[in-house]
Amino acid sequence: MIRRFMIRHWGSFGQLVRFSLVGASGVLVNLVVAYGAKKIAPLIWESSIDESNAWLPIPGTQYNIRWFLVFSAVAFVVANLSNYQLNRIWSFRGANHAGWFQEFWPFFTVGLLAQGIGMVLETALMHPNSPVRLPEDIFDNSSGIRRMWYWAHLIMICVTIPISFLLNKFWTFRAIRKVRVTADEGG
């Protein structure tokens, strides 16, 4: 029974390993871009920017979009492009590729969903009144390794990887290729 399960799902296990390796490279890309965005933003806006400062008020509410969410969004877009290309040619490789944009938009949509979930989590980990806020005595922002935002961002990435894998495996790279194969066969 276990042998039959392993034989049946060995390809999926290999895809998960490849997806995870691509994801690990995406984590590095994401963190480097987020860090770079944080360093470049003050040069563009010519002011002192802390990741927890407000960037833009949300109209009609008392809430603001914070700089850490802006940095997170920029890092997401760059890492998503990198991950898409690597997953397309390695993790979910196959002869029945749909067009680059035809597969990209579902991949990007999955990424946006995961990013949305992640931003809610990231905000909860950073918000002063949140019951799941990272402890300030440990993450006191005294050095890079103790910056609360870096850890909240890393936790967010780790939580969203399984969501992304499952949706991409069963929707982006499966359903679209199936539609393409059916169309190519005249169906």
Q: What are the tens digits of pLDDT across the range 71-94?
A: 888 999 999 999 999 988 888 776
> CA 140 to CA 22: how far, in whole Å?
31
C-alpha–C-alpha distance, residues 27 and 157, integer Å: 7
pLDDT at position 75, please?
92
Is 139 domain-assigned? yes
Please count the structural domains in the chain.
Answer: 1
61 within some domain: yes
Residue 56 near residue 64 (C-beta atoms within 8 A): yes
Domain that holds residue 132: 31-182
pLDDT of residue 132: 93
Give the pLDDT means over successive 10-residue stretches in the chain (187 positions): 64 78 90 88 70 79 81 91 89 73 87 89 89 92 84 87 81 63 52
Neighbours of 126 (CB within 10 A): 22
The confidence score (pLDDT) of residue 138 equals 92
Confidence at residue 88, expressed as pLDDT on a 0 to 100 scale: 85
Question: Residues of 135-160 as b/e, b for ≥16 C-beta within 10 angstroms?
Answer: eeeebeeeeeeebbbbbbbebbbeeb
Judged by DSSP in three states, 60 sits in coil
